[in-house]
Amino acid sequence: MPARVRTAVIPAAGLGTRFLPATKAQPKEMLPVLDRPAIEYVVEEAAAAGIDDVLIVTSRGKHAIEDHFDHMPELEAELERKGKSEALERVVALAELARVHTVRQAEPRGLGHAVSMAADHVGDAPFAVLLPDDLMVDDAALLRGMLAAQAEHGGSVVALKRVAPEEISAYGCPRVEPVDESLVRIFEVVEKPEPEEAPSDLAVTGRYVLSPGIFDALANVTPGKGGEIQLTDALELLGKTEPVYGWVFTEGRHDVGTPLDHLRASIELALDRDDLGPELGAFLADVVRRRDLR
Ligand code: UTP
């Protein structure tokens, strides 16, 4: 029986160039989605799936991430003194959400390279990788499904979202064969195919449960353009010696990696909230009417 997944790795050492200048002196992962930084949703997802050991891959200028998940005694004492018990509860809970560790990636040499920074911490066990550009609002259903599939079948499991044909050229797209209801076996991944050349309607998205074999694969892939080491190339290599599966899902993903996607996600998430949804909905309806957007 495969070892239990204990650690979630969250790569957060990128430059966030699609979000400049907001990300010049501030980590993209700390940009708020409503009232919480994006990375908080992701750490919460890991904890909800039963993973309380979190390793965040950071880089220069990303101290705010560590501080966010740490205790802040001055703030806690001040909130206590002022009787702001709800705010106090939230900041204390945040510091106790998971055991958060960090490791540095000295240069942004790609997602694959960022994941390879986790090798010492992870050791010889399967682990999860959660990209903070993708928020999953699904009570960790996707991640739990992937963990269960990995525990049953071994190997590695990649999250695959079923998308419309016109969307596929923005993603890695695998050639697959079905295993059971939600699980497929992946044979190769075509990067950003034209719709007519896409081998499936499935898009690789930012959740992975990986076998430790990925570290050897990462050490052996040739860097692609810009010297970047791609996680998909390493998965392709790993697939030659171990099974790589895909877990197919449709709902719950919000991309927050660009300003427009971030805005879309914020609106959808706010509409779902009792404290924000009704007023925002009325405001949006009014905007549509006033600007004749229909
Ligand atoms: P992205 O490509 O979305 O992030 O990588 P980026 O490179 O920061 O953003 P752009 O494309 O320039 O706008 C997905 C995740 O992988 C991390 C990023 O921080 C992001 O959370 N990443 C990427 C690293 O940790 N290291 C890297 O070298 C590259």
Q: What is the pLDDT of residues 222-266, one digit of tens each?
A: 998 778 999 999 999 999 999 999 999 999 999 999 999 999 999
Q: Is 114's C-beta closer than 6 angstroms to any atom of ligand 1?
A: yes
128 pLDDT more than 90: yes
Residue 107 Cα: closest atom of ligand 1: 28
Q: What is the pLDDT of residues 160-174, one digit of tens each?
A: 999 999 999 999 999
Is the Cα torsion angle 238, 242, 243, 247 positive or negative in sign? negative
> Ligand 1 test: best mutation among 9, 20, 133, most atoms within 8 Å of CB?
133
Superfamily of domain 7-257: Spore Coat Polysaccharide Biosynthesis Protein SpsA; Chain A (3.90.550.10)
Q: Is 111's C-beta closer than 6 angstroms to any atom of ligand 1?
A: yes
> Which of 115, 117, 131, 118 is closest to 53 using CA atoms?
118
What is the reported pLDDT for 294? 78
> Which of 213, 184, 218 is closest to 200 using CA atoms?
184
Residue 15 Cα: closest atom of ligand 1: 8
Q: What is the pLDDT of residues 184-203, one digit of tens each?
A: 999 999 989 999 999 999 99
Q: Is 37's C-beta closer than 6 angstroms to any atom of ligand 1?
A: no
If you write DSSP's letter for every residue of the chain in order, what string do you get?
A: -PPPP-EEEEE--S--GGGTTTTSSS-GGGSEETTEEHHHHHHHHHHHTT--EEEEEE-TT-HHHHHHTS--HHHHHHHHHTT-HHHHHHHHHHHTSSEEEEEE-SS---HHHHHHTTHHHH-SS-EEEE-TTEEE-STTHHHHHHHHHHHHH-SEEEEEEE--GGGGGGSEEEEEEE-SSSEEEEEEEEES--GGG-SSSEEEEEEEEE-THHHHHHHHSPP-GGGPPPHHHHHHHHTTTS-EEEEEE-SSEEE-SSHHHHHHHHHHHHHT-TTTHHHHHHHHHHHHHHTT--
What is the reported pLDDT for 224? 80
What is the reported pLDDT for 157? 98
pTM of the model: 0.95
Residues of the chain with CATH 3.90.550.10: 7-257
Model confidence at 2, pLDDT cuts 50, 70, 90, reads low
Residue 206 Cα: closest atom of ligand 1: 14
